[in-house]
Amino acid sequence: MYRGNQIKVGSALLLSACLLSGCWSSKEIEDQAIYTGLALDVGTEDKEKIKQMEQLGSPPMENVLTGTIQIVPQKSFGSRGNASSNQQKPYVNSVQSGNSVFEIMRMYSLIRDRPVIGHHLKVIVLSTDLLKKYAIDQLLDFTLRDNDIRPSCLVFLARGQAAEAMTMNQPADVPSFHIKDMERNRFRNNKIMKGITLTNLNALMNTKQSYILQTIASVKGKDEFYGAGIIKGKTGKWIGNLDSNDVASISWIRGTGQGGLIKTLDERDQIITYEIKSMKSKIIPKVKGDSVSFHVEIKSKGRLIENWDAEQNFSKVPYLKAAEKRFERKLASEIQTILDKMQSRYKVDVSGFGKQLSLSHPQVWKKVKDDWDDVFSRSSVTFTIDLTITDYGSSTG
Amino acid sequence: MFTRTDDKITSTQASIFLTDAVLGAGILTLPRGVTEIVKTPDVWLSILFGGVVIILVVFIMTKLSQQFVGKTVFQYAKRIVGRIPGGILTSLLVIYFIVICGFEVRVLAEVTMYFLLEGTPIWGILMPFIWVSSYLILGGINSIARVFQIIFPISIFILIIAYILSTRIFDINNLRPVLSNGIMPVFSGLKSTILVYTGCEVVMVLVAHMQHPKQAVRAMITGISIPLTLYFITVVMVIGGMSVDAVQRSTWPTIDLLRSFEIAGLFFERFEFPFLVIWMMQLFCNFTSFFYSSSLGISQIFGLPFRSTVFGLMPVLFLAASIPQRINDVFSLGDYIGYASLGMFVLVPVLLSIVLLIRKKGLKQHV
Chain A interface includes B85 (CB < 8 A): no
Name the residue type at position A37: G
Coil, strand or helix: which one is A127?
strand
CB atoms within 10 A of CB A240: 15
Q: Exposed, middle or buried, A15 (CB in 10 Å: 0-12/13-18/19+)?
A: exposed
Residue B189 pLDDT: 81
Q: Are B66 and B353 in contact (CB under 8 A)?
A: no
% of chain A residues with pLDDT over 90: 40
Lateral strand order in the sheet of A261-265:
A261-265, A271-288, A291-307, A381-391
Q: Exposed, middle or buried, B271 (CB in 10 Å: 0-12/13-18/19+)?
A: buried
What's the pTM value of the predicted model, to 2 decimals? 0.85
Q: CA-CA distances (angstroms) from residue A214 to A177, A192, B328, B335?
A: 16, 7, 37, 42
Mutation target among B175, B245, B272 for the A interface, most CBs of A within 10 A:
B245
- Give the chain B residue nearest A148 (alpha carbons): B115
Q: CA-CA distances (angstroms) from residue B44 to A69, A111, A226, B233?
A: 41, 50, 40, 8
Chain A interface includes B225 (CB < 8 A): no
Interchain CB distance below 8 Å, A203 and B243? yes
Instruction: Taking residues A138-163, report their average pLDDT.
Output: 90
Chain A interface includes B306 (CB < 8 A): no
Checking if the pLDDT of B6 tops 70, the result is no
Interchain CB distance below 8 Å, B176 and A24? no
Interchain CB distance below 8 Å, B245 and A202? yes
The b/e string for B109-127 (b: 16+ C-beta within 10 A; e otherwise) is: bbbbbebbbeeeebebbbe
- Gap between the Cα atoms of B21 and B39, Å rounded: 29
Residue A78 pLDDT: 47
Instruction: Taking residues B191-201, report their average pLDDT.
Output: 81
Q: Which of B106, B51, B61 is nearest to B329 (CA)?
A: B106
- Gap between the Cα atoms of A224 and A213, Å rounded: 14
- Gap between the Cα atoms of A13 and A8, Å rounded: 9
Q: Which of B122, B108, B74, B133 is nearest to B348 (CA)?
A: B74
Interchain CB distance below 8 Å, A206 and B177? no
Chain A interface includes B115 (CB < 8 A): yes
- Gap between the Cα atoms of A359 and A363, Å rounded: 10
Q: Identify the band that residue A40 occupies on the pLDDT scale cut at 50, 70 and 90.
A: very high
Residue B288 pLDDT: 92
What digits encode the pLDDT tens for the residues B233-257? 999 999 999 888 888 888 889 988 9
Report the complex ipTM. 0.79
Q: H/E element holding A285?
A: strand A271-288
Q: Which residues pair with B364 in a beta bridge?
A: none
Q: Identify the band that residue A91 occupies on the pLDDT scale cut at 50, 70 and 90.
A: confident
Mean pLDDT (chain A, rounded): 86
Mutation target among B180, B237, B268 for the A interface, most CBs of A within 10 A:
B180
CB atoms within 10 A of CB B164: 10
Checking if the pLDDT of A292 tops 70, the result is yes
Mutation target among B239, B249, B259 for the A interface, most CBs of A within 10 A:
B259
Q: H/E element holding A240?
A: strand A238-242
CB < 8 Å to A154, chain B: none
Name the residue type at position B93: L
- Gap between the Cα atoms of A366 and A243, Å rounded: 32
- Gap between the Cα atoms of B9 and B205, Å rounded: 12
The b/e string for B188-218 (b: 16+ C-beta within 10 A; e otherwise) is: ebbbbbbbbbbbbbbbbbbbbbbeebebbee
Checking if the pLDDT of B285 tops 60, the result is yes
Orientation angle between helical segments B141-165 and B122-138, nearest 10 degrees: 130
Chain A interface includes B180 (CB < 8 A): yes
